Amino acid sequence: MSHVLSKNSYGKSHVRLSKVIRHGDRHDLMELSANIELEGEFAESYTKGDNSRIVATDTMKNTVYALAANHKLDSIESFAQSLVEHFLQKYSHVAAVTVSIQQDRWLRIDHNHPHAFVSGGDEKRICKISRRRTGTATQRTGGIDGLVVVKTANSAFTGFLRDQFTTLPETSDRIFGTSVRAEWIYTPGPHDFNSIYDRSRSRIIDVFAKHKSMAVQETEYEMGKAVLDACPEIEEISITLPNQHRIPINMQPFGLENKNEIFVPQDEPFGLIKATVRRG
């Protein structure tokens, strides 16, 4: 019997980095975690243990550090782009490079402090830049992960299908909690990535707060439309919304009434709603 190595790739994950950009009396802080993945002529390492074409993943890590020293790190997208270019230019036997980065969210203390920051939580800004030496154009995505929101009004869920396994009651007034993951595809051309991120995040939060939701699905689609309207630089957006349920507690066994006030938050199971919206 013969075997074929039909696909292979390798790289370094979770390369973490802080950069302090020192502007006179004011500092900027960028903290990120990068993943690098290479495809190319590496088969002989797999099939023969010949490492002569292998860029050690430790070298990839060092490359992230070294390039960060001379890059202004104005956005994770531009830094990822420079890493992609480095590996493609340096090694002719590399066929494709993918760099994905997630950035921590630091907020200035008192909105304005020159060098002290408080965590904005586990929410991340994300990007992925992928380029193949030949053929297709560079693929560039940006996004948000872990934007946790909840609303206590203007969310209903009625009129759904009922079958022999349906026990869920209809509700015209439920709690809607979720953790937004949004990933958008950039149109070609130079962009102000930070401005796009700001507009997208702001529109997503705005729709969440204002939309009278008849379904998580509907709110998700409205978010996608709002981002496309606010950002001509985005050609497509995919959003994933877990439904982080708050279940009303049945108080009748205790002789009490639950006036839609007391709920149990549940981690699992959870509904998971996905949509991709693009320009028509």
In the region spanning residues 211 to 230, those forming contacts with its own copies, defined by CB under 8 A, are: 213-218, 220-221, 224-225, 228-229
> Least CB distance from residue 124 to its own copies, whole Å?
12
Instruction: Find residue 37's DSSP bridge partners.
Output: 11, 98
- Tell me the window of 55-63, 95-103, 133-141, 191-199 that interacts with its own copies (CB under 8 A): 55-63
- As to burial, measured by CB atoms within 10 angstroms (0-12 exposed, 13-18 middle, 19+ buried), residue 132 is middle
Amino acid identity for residue 145 in this structure? D
Q: Which of 57, 138, 152, 240 is catalytic?
A: 57
Amino acid identity for residue 271 in this structure? G
Residue 74 binding its own copies, by CB under 8 A: no
> Least CB distance from residue 132 to its own copies, whole Å?
17
Amino acid identity for residue 63 in this structure? T
Residue 247 — φ and ψ, nearest 5°? -90, 125
> Least CB distance from residue 158 to its own copies, whole Å?
7
Residue 223 — φ and ψ, nearest 5°? -60, -45
Start-to-end CA distance of the chain, whole Å, equals 50
Please give the Cα distance from 111 to 114 (Å, whole number): 9
> Least CB distance from residue 16 to its own copies, whole Å?
5
Closest by Cα among 4, 2, 9, 3 to 42: 9
Binding mask 183-202 for its own copies (x = CB under 8 A): --------------------
Residue 78 binding its own copies, by CB under 8 A: no
Residue 20 binding its own copies, by CB under 8 A: yes
- Tell me the window of 74-82, 133-141, 181-189, 240-248 that interacts with its own copies (CB under 8 A): 240-248
Q: Tell me which residues are annotated as active site.
A: 12, 57, 245
